[in-house]
A = this chain, B = another copy of it.
Amino acid sequence: MQAQGFEMKIAATDGAARTGSLKTPHGTVTTPAFMPVATYGAVRGLAAHELKAINAEILLANTYHLHERPGEQIVEELGGLQGFTGWKGPWLTDSGGYQVSSLAHRMKLDEEGVTFSSTLDGARRTLTPESVIAIQEALGSDIAMVLDECVAPTPESHAHGDIERATERTLRWAERSTRARKRPQQAVFGIVQGGTDVQLRQRSARGLTELGFDGYAHGGLGLGETRIQRCEAVAAARESLPDLSPRYLMGLGRPVDLLDGIAEGVDFFDCVVPTRNGRHGLLFTSQGILHIKNARFASDSNPVDPNCDCLTCGSYSRAYLRHLIRCNEALGARLAALHNLRFYQHLLSLARDAIEKNQFASFRAEYDERLEAKAD
């Protein structure tokens, strides 16, 4: 099945890196794109008009969390995520599998699906490939993810065959997911697994491509493997994926992870790093990372980043933001998250420009260094 109302366009390439757009029923997303994480249907403390103002074009919501509260029926009754929340643009929902594995208690995974105790009320619940599609159809996201089995790529999990078994099961679940689909206006992305084993990654990508998804994600990464292993895993899968399908690197990351991913042909990213790190006082700037809690910012009247056009940098000083974050005042987390997300959106727009000009390699090298630096 091919979802209706979607169209991927590649405007320019530079090596494996590419820039273009994905049309969805609720708007067009310029790629490569970063999706701010709206766990419960809201990005921590930020209103929809603010996300629009910093050029966010698509948000990610957590299927598991929304299934628990308020429940997908309520979201559906109010017109899906676009009707329920303030964000009228495109939404991607994850499958909930990762959240269940990492958050839920007494998790039991078998061929049927995953059974666990709710973090909310302790009740036993089961998610299957079919139910996860049904929940996301009710949530009304533009892009849904299949349920996958995600095993951290340790030497042991590879040696014991855990990664291989999880990769095979993910493929069988993917097949069940395609058969479960009922909503033509929703794209569904398959998820490549295989740990750091490039042959498993390729086999997984080929299997998913044969099933025919609307897009493909690189899953099970950012779980302890090295940066080089991760790049190789993404590159290996890419060769087996259709050129004209969107590719999404799940849950990563830091600005350098975005640049790594773009170099390997990734179109979509999501991560809690900009919001969570912001809340803890770690701010990304054009001059490097700034730990705002540091005493040297106590009476610093400069903006967080003089080259940034966000509300935070336009109206507030480093000294004030430091004070708010130290006092755990809600406005601090909000202003910090807004700035970091603006930094991400701006970084991606620079990356898109560099790809168009065939200068992505030099852009990446320059930024790699700058991003690791500490701002004066």
Binding site for B on A (CB under 8 A): 39-49, 65, 69-70, 74, 77-78, 83-86, 298-299, 301, 311, 315-317, 319-320, 322-324, 326-327, 329-335
Q: Assess the B40–A327 pair: CB atoms within 8 A.
A: yes
Q: Which of the residues B315, B320, B322, B331 comes within 8 Å of A46, measured between beta carbons?
A: B331
In the complex, chain B residues whose CB is within 8 Å of the CB of A85: 320
Q: Assess the B47–A315 pair: CB atoms within 8 A.
A: yes
**How far is it, in angstroms, between the C-alpha of A301 and the C-alpha of B83 when the chains are bound?**
9
Q: Assess the B319–A69 pair: CB atoms within 8 A.
A: no
Q: How far is the CB of A83 from chain B (nearest CB, A)?
A: 8
Q: A315-B48, A334-B334 are in contact. Are A74 and B299 (CB under 8 A)?
A: yes
Q: Assess the A329–B42 pair: CB atoms within 8 A.
A: yes
**How far is it, in angstroms, between the C-alpha of A42 and the C-alpha of B321 when the chains are bound?**
10
**How far is it, in angstroms, between the C-alpha of A327 and the C-alpha of B74 when the chains are bound?**
15
**How far is it, in angstroms, between the C-alpha of A112 and the C-alpha of B311 when the chains are bound?**
45
**How far is it, in angstroms, between the C-alpha of A85 and the C-alpha of B324 when the chains are bound?**
10
Q: Assess the B323–A41 pair: CB atoms within 8 A.
A: yes
Q: Assess the A42–B77 pair: CB atoms within 8 A.
A: no
**How far is it, in angstroms, between the C-alpha of A40 and the C-alpha of B327 when the chains are bound?**
7
Q: A40-B327, A40-B329 are in contact. Are A319 and B84 (CB under 8 A)?
A: yes
Q: A330-B330, A331-B47 are in contact. Are A324 and B42 (CB under 8 A)?
A: yes
**How far is it, in angstroms, between the C-alpha of A82 and the C-alpha of B192 when the chains are bound?**
54
> Closest B-chain residue to A317, C-beta based?
B78
> Closest B-chain residue to A328, C-beta based?
B40
Q: Assess the A299–B78 pair: CB atoms within 8 A.
A: yes
Q: Which of the residues B74, B298, B319, B330 comes within 8 Å of A334, measured between beta carbons?
A: B330
